[in-house]
Amino acid sequence: MIVVGVWIICFTFRSMLPAVGRVLRAADVHELLPPILSTVPAWELAITDLFLGDYGNAPLAVRALFLLGAPASVALLSLWEARRLRTRHGITLRGALRR
């Protein structure tokens, strides 16, 4: 059982890198897809947390920081990435339609 357990752990960790490298290759579809795909779920989770009210006992400032801090930072990083792609490489969302 120990040998099988060690083999399963090694197999799991060795398969993570190719899975991330090959399965999650959204940039192969279009270079602006990763910023879009990262922003949408971050805001969806924030809206879900807003309606579930899991932070009911926390002060208002802490709740606002927890609810809006993460999706706002993800959105700002995504906008920065999109801007860098546009200014350095000329990649725009409209350019995807001309391929």
pLDDT for position 8 = 93
CA nearest to 50, candidates 79, 78, 71, 36:
71
Residue 96's pLDDT band (boundaries 50, 70, 90)? low
Percent of the chain with pLDDT over 70: 89
CA–CA distance, 42 with 47 (Å, rounded to integer): 9
Q: Which residues, at least 6 apart from 62, have a Cβ–Cβ distance to it below 8 Å?
A: 55
The pLDDT value given to residue 24 = 67
pLDDT in tens, 54-92: 777 888 888 888 888 989 999 999 999 999 988 998 888
